[in-house]
């Protein structure tokens, strides 16, 4: 996981909204697209960027692909933020 890729991915408000939706549970691309006024290929593009940043994972169930949050990456990011804050507080 690259922090640069993760920060680039969460810089877009649409991708942040996707992450918020997935916080509530796993969803298919179609279910995610229902929450946006954009074409499904655009939603797929955002999902691809989130997946490349390891912020989400996918799994196939029959004909559907379900997307979910990769909480490990969020824990790594939070740990990094915590370390930064701790170092600043120690100075």
What is the assigned CATH class of domain 2-85? mainly alpha
**Edge to edge, what strands does the sheet with 64-69 contain?**
27-28, 64-69, 56-61
Residue 1 in contact with residue 68, Cβ under 8 Å?
no
Residue 38 parent element (H or E): none
**Nearest Cα to Cα of residue 31 among 59, 64, 60:** 64
In this structure, the dihedral spanned by the alpha carbons of residues 37, 41, 42 and 48, taken in order and rounded to 10 degrees, is: 140
For residue 72, name the pLDDT band (cuts at 50, 70, 90).
confident
What residue segments make up the domains of the chain, in order of their start?
Answer: 2-85
**Taking the model in full, what pTM does it have?**
0.83
pLDDT in tens, 31-55: 999 999 999 899 999 999 999 999 9
């Amino acid at each position: 996981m690259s922090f640069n890729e993760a920060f680039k991915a969460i810089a877009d408000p649409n991708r942040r909204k996707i992450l918020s939706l997935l916080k509530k549970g796993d969803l298919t691309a179609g279910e995610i697209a229902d929450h946006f006024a954009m074409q499904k290929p655009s939603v797929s593009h955002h999902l691809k960027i989130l997946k490349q940043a390891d912020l989400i994972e996918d799994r196939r169930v029959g004909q559907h692909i379900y997307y979910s949050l990769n909480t490990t990456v969020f824990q790594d990011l939070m740990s990094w933020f915590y370390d930064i804050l701790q170092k600043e507080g120690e100075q």
